[in-house]
Amino acid sequence: MKKYLMGLITLIMAMVVLAGCSSSSKSDSKTINVGILQNVQHGSLDAARNGFKSGLTEAVKKHDKSMKVNYTYMNAQGDQSNVNSMSQQLVQKKPSLMLAIGTQAAQGLAKKTKTTPIIVTAVTDPKGAGLVKSNNKPNTNVTGASDSAPVEKQMKLLKSIVKNDKPIGIMYNSSEENSVLLVNRAKKYAKKNNIAIKTVSVTSTNDVASAVSGMKNNVSGIYLPTDNLMASSMKTIGKKAREAKLPVVTGSIEMAQDGGTTTYGINYKDLGKQAGDMAYQVLINKKKPQTMAVETSKTLKLYVNKANAKEIGIDPSSITKP
């Protein structure tokens, strides 16, 4: 009898342990792990990250209320050595999917894995950056929502609000691939429409203020592409431009909010949410990045920084969609 009882107790304990393991396994299967690598800290990229998280979390919860998304976030702070080491760290965690915010972050992650799905955002030209074989059909483990801006419409917008015939100033960081691509588009538009331009390249935040001051008497307005250095320097640019009474059209809404005059462009939170929707397709609907076309922003908006416009003598109501 005693042996029977001992055997029964042993059997019950084993069943409890197995049930616990089964419960733990079930619980783990309800958690999705996502790694996030961001190039640098500034408003536009932060907005993209927040949009991605809210978009993906909301979609997953709608699919299954018991599912959770666990995010591991790292920021390289503009340092390439950080990009390399953080990419390695994130890949080693074996997440279900990774988000890359910015071209350097995307290239860093793509070098470390060819299997883990990577969704990118705030990358202007994934094909040009070597991340995909084609923007229409990536054929790699990378896809996402590009922040390719409507440069031509933004240049047209700036031309409509300048007050004289001096050249249009274009300021950018020549070491950022995205910026070079956008500036080349701006130059092409200017040539086609007989618009004189002056381009100024800066590679450090320390040079931004003097660069704007140097353009003060030589340009009628300033165009800034979606550029990490420009975005992180918007307060300085805005202050100097207001002092010089120069209108500033920016590549993104967040940049205009931080110091520009106006833009017709991308809202990075919306773009991030769009990337989150793509991540949902990969994680829940089991789509493959290899066959998912790179998307561009589905929403473009006219934004006017009314306070800044008034300060340089422009009636905000006179600024209209290009």
pLDDT per position as a tens digit, 222-248: 999 988 899 999 999 999 999 999 999
Pairwise pLDDT comparison (42 vs 94), residue with the higher score: 94
pTM of the model: 0.80
Is the pLDDT reported for residue 257 higher than 50? yes
Domains (ranges, CATH) in the chain?
32-147+267-298 (3.40.50.2300), 151-265+301-318 (3.40.50.2300)
Question: In the chain, what is the greatest distance between 2 CA atoms, to the nearest angstrom?
Answer: 104
pLDDT per position as a tens digit, 136-146: 999 999 999 99
Q: What is the pLDDT of residue 112?
A: 97
pLDDT per position as a tens digit, 69-109: 999 999 999 899 999 999 999 999 999 999 999 999 999 99
Class of residue 1 by CB neighbours under 10 A (exposed 0-12, middle 13-18, buried 19+): exposed
Q: What is the pLDDT of residue 155?
A: 98
**Confidence label for 266 from pLDDT (cuts 50, 70 and 90):** confident
